[in-house]
């Protein structure tokens, strides 16, 4: 009898490593940025691996995939990789081919960059294409924003690296909590309950347990549930458990902008992104309000931060009050943590101090 196969996940990554990486595994000593979009990794054996980083809009056609595979065949013995920010990295063991590859990419309209003090591609979530709880789209906004910030991808002229992320709801499978600039879709209304269908399609105990603020309780009379509105923080977690609790609200769903997040390193802990703009309208297909807001913050940061200062460090140096002053952004009650309701509800604090 054939043995049951249990290892049905993706193939072991080592099987797909370029030979130069396999041969120098554990021997890489350092890497440098040769020029925008080009890295060189140097091994203790003297071997050099060149990486050419190119941008992609994430939602890509089969034609684009064929084109980049042809380029990989021509310049890199068939090896390339996608990064988590949807960049395409061509891995070359022959440095003399780098310029020719960049010339071909440029001719095809594929930008090369995203290294060092640049804005690399935006890490983002699923959006309207794939997820069922989004308050806004992901790839559509990202494409619109990056089209405007293009020059910061292909150059390294910012004071420091600037990382932008997008999550289309606050369940946040993106990295908006720790990004220099974060674009976050927000629901702003309490879910509407469809009592007629709820008991047929949803497990009530699972549904009540899904709410992080304990806002949902059973309503035995209706064989349904009820939501205590003042406890709801519009997260949509209940909707992921039960399709009869509708969180999507085309009129009121919107976009917010957060700034000053940064992941931890060996010396400092993580800094969480903080609210800069509480509301921008959902305005597809090009989201001009969101694009202008992000571009404006980038430009003010670029003009005022000192060399090496990330967004968080710049704001900490000049103070949050000054940040709102120099950017001209309005400071509202929405920016205050632990606003008056925080004693009795959970939704007013971004720190969840219960």
Note the residues at the interface with ligand SF4 (CB under 6 A): 125-126, 131, 133-134, 167-169, 171-174, 191, 210-211, 213, 215-216, 227, 232-238, 247
Specify whether the backbone of 305 is left (phi greater than 0), alpha (psi in -120 to 50) or beta.
beta
For residue 335, the tally of other CB atoms under 10 A from its CB is 17
Nearer to ligand SF4 (CB atom), residue 134 or residue 260: 134
Shortest separation between residue 181's beta carbon and ligand SF4, angstroms: 16
Beta bridge partners of 31: 41
Tokens of 2: 């054939």
Closer to ligand SF4 at the Cβ: 187 or 271?
Answer: 187
Q: Taking the alpha carbons of 262, 268, 269, 271 in that order, is the dihedral positive or negative?
A: negative
Nearest residue to ligand SF4, by Cβ distance, number only:
131
CA dist 204 and 110 (Å) reads 50
As measured in angstroms, the least distance from the Cβ of 59 to ligand SF4 is 14
φ/ψ (deg, to 5) at 88: -105, 125
Q: Which is nearer to ligand SF4, 224 or 237 (CB)?
A: 237
DSSP summary character for residue 335: G
> Buried b / exposed e across 71-98, counting CB within 10 Å, b at 16+?
bbeebbeebbeeeebbbbbbbbbeeebb
| Closest distance of CB 182 from ligand SF4, Å | 11
Output the smallest distance, CB 138 to ligand SF4, in A. Answer: 6
Give the CA angle between residues 119, 58, 243 to the nearest 5°.
115
The CB-of-234 to ligand SF4 minimum distance in angstroms stands at 5
Q: Which residue's CB is nearer to ligand SF4, number 113 or number 278?
A: 278
Which residue, 238 or 276, is less far from ligand SF4 as judged by CB? 238
Q: How far is the CB of 155 from ligand SF4 (least distance, A)?
A: 30
Compute the least distance from the CB of residue 264 to ligand SF4, in Å. Answer: 22
C-alpha dihedral, 237 to 241 to 242 to 243, nearest 10°? 80
| 117 versus 121: smaller Cβ distance to ligand SF4 | 121
First to last CA, the chain: 57
Nearer Cβ to ligand SF4, position 24 or 237?
237
Query: Could you give the CA distance from residue 99 to residue 287 in angstroms, rounded to a whole number?
Result: 36
**Cβ distance to ligand SF4 smaller for residue 86 or 310:** 86
SS3 162: strand
Query: Shortest distance, CB of residue 274 to ligand SF4, whole angstroms?
Result: 19
Residue 163's Cβ-count burial label (10 Å; 0-12, 13-18, 19+) is buried
């Amino acid at each position: 009898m054939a043995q049951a196969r249990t290892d049905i996940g993706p193939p072991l990554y080592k099987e797909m490593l370029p030979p130069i990486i396999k041969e120098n595994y554990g021997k890489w000593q350092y890497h440098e940025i040769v020029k925008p979009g080009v890295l060189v990794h140097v091994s203790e054996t003297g071997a050099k691996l060149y990486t050419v980083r190119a941008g992609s809009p994430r939602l890509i056609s089969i034609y684009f995939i064929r084109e980049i595979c042809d380029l990989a065949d021509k310049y890199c013995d068939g090896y390339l990789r996608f990064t988590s920010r949807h960049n395409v990295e061509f891995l070359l063991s022959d440095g003399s081919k780098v310029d020719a590859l960049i010339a071909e990419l440029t001719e095809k309209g594929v930008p090369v960059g995203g290294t060092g003090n640049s804005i690399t591609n935006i890490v983002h979530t699923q959006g309207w294409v794939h997820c069922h709880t989004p308050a806004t789209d992901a790839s559509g906004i990202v494409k619109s924003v990056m089209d405007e910030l293009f020059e910061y991808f292909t150059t390294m002229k910012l004071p420091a690296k600037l990382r932008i992320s997008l999550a289309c709801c606050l369940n946040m499978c993106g990295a908006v909590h720790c990004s220099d600039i974060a674009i976050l879709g927000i629901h702003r209304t309490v879910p509407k309950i469809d009592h007629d269908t709820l008991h047929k399609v949803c497990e009530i105990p699972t549904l009540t347990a899904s709410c992080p603020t304990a806002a949902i309780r059973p309503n035995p009379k209706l064989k349904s549930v009820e939501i205590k509105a003042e406890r709801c923080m519009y997260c949509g977690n209940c909707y992921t458990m039960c399709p009869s609790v509708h969180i999507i609200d085309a009129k009121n769903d919107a976009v917010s902008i957060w700034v000053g997040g940064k992941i931890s390193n060996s010396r400092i802990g993580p800094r969480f992104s903080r609210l800069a703009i509480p509301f921008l309208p959902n305005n597809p297909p090009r989201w001009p309000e969101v694009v202008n807001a992000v571009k404006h913050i980038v430009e003010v940061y670029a003009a005022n931060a000192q060399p090496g200062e990330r967004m968080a460090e710049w704001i900490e140096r000049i103070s949050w009050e000054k940040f709102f002053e120099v950017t001209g952004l309005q400071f509202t009650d929405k920016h205050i943590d632990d606003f008056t309701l925080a004693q009795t509800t959970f939704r007013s604090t971004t720190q969840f101090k219960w």
